[in-house]
Amino acid sequence: MDVAIRNKSRKKNARIQSNWQDRLFDFSVYGIAIMMIIMIVYPLWFIIIASFSSPTDVSNGTVWFWPKEWKLNGYIELLKNEAIWRGYLNTIIYTVVGTFIALCVNIPAGFALSRPDLMGRGWITTFYIVPMFFGGGLIPTYLTVKNFGLLDTFWVLVLPFSVSAFNIIIARTFFKNSIPEDLWEAAQMDGCSTIRYFFTIVLPLSKAVLAVIGLWTAVGIWNSWFDAMIYISNENLQPLQLILRRILIMNETLFEMASGNLASELRNLSDMMKYAAIVVSTLPIMLLYPFLQKYFNQGIMIGSIKE
């Protein structure tokens, strides 16, 4: 009887100790997760509240979680420029068209490379991988774009750089590991061609990788300003990022030319416009993440880790 009681007591103590260890582990995991969320979210929140705050309050460190005094001067000065709205429209069009073209190019290429019956698959894969490490440089690229007559045109930001070897490898790995070969064999028995198999069976099952590659491409195009600076001189075709850069540089130049109270006012206005420009340029593309989140994690994990 005593032995049974002792065994029961030991099991109970072990169970209590195990529960305590589980709680400690859960507390540690949740604590680390909360700290990481704060480290990511707070800088974004600080940029937003700083865009509505006085630059003096921001520089003095009196703005932490809420604006000490709400000010809209930065947004008013920034958005009253007509070039901002034109740049917004251009960027939206570049992003939508460029993402669509990139998906039309990279997804079929990744699917073709995933097929074991593709002749010369190894050589074609090498052809895609080598440019990932060795590039021709800016001058040869510029001359190529110029010879194709794409300078100062809408298509210069969506066609020359639509092919991405990295995205093709991601798509190839996803198709290879996520689409069962039995589906292709069953489709062949039903007389399905390769093109029909791709459009009717593979694409509906590939929402995850489509979301990942589409989001990566859209973010890259939306944030791009260097390509526009090199290849576009027509102000009517310039994207938002390049226009914001020009406005901020112009404000810095005016600040350096001014003196006294005017210089101080221009300095404060320039700082507020910087924060407002960050919010204006990043908020629209960030709104895409919640809609694609359910596909994003699955696509990026399957497409980039498994092989």
Q: Annotate 258-304 with DSSP letters as a single string.
A: --HHHHHHHHHHHHHHHHHHHHHHHHHHHTTHHHHHHHHHHHHHHHH
Give tens-digit pLDDT for 59-112: 676 777 777 777 777 787 777 777 888 888 899 999 999 999 999 999 999 898
> CA 143, CA 136: separation in Å to the nearest integer?
11
Structure confidence by residue, pLDDT tens digits, 106-160: 999 989 888 888 888 888 888 888 877 777 778 888 888 889 888 888 899 898 8
1.10.3720.10, 3.40.50.12280, 3.10.129.10, 3.60.10.10: CATH of 73-305: 1.10.3720.10
Greater confidence (156 vs 16) lies with 156
Tokens of 52: 């509505």
pLDDT digits (tens, 9 = 90+) for 26-52: 788 888 888 888 888 888 888 888 878
**What pLDDT, on a 0 to 100 scale, did the predictor assign at position 258?**
59
Instruction: Give the pLDDT confidence of 178-222 residue by residue, as tens digits.
Output: 888 888 888 888 788 888 888 888 888 888 888 888 888 888 888
Question: For residue 103, what pLDDT is reported?
Answer: 93
The residue extents of the domains of the chain are 2-60, 73-305
Query: Which are the contacts of 131, defined by CB distance < 8 A and separation ≥ 6?
Result: 165
Whole-angstrom distance, CA of residue 148 vs CA of residue 145: 5
- pLDDT tens for 247-300 read 777 766 766 665 666 666 666 667 777 778 878 888 777 777 777 666 665 555
pLDDT given at position 306? 46
For residue 304, pLDDT over 60 is answered with: no
pLDDT of residue 177: 84
| 3-class SS of residue 53 | coil
Q: Which helix (H) or strand (E) holds 84?
A: helix 82-114
Query: Does pLDDT of 162 surpass 80?
Result: yes
> In Å, how far from its chain's centre is CA 157?
17
Mean pLDDT, the chain, rounded, equals 79
The pLDDT value recorded for residue 6 is 56
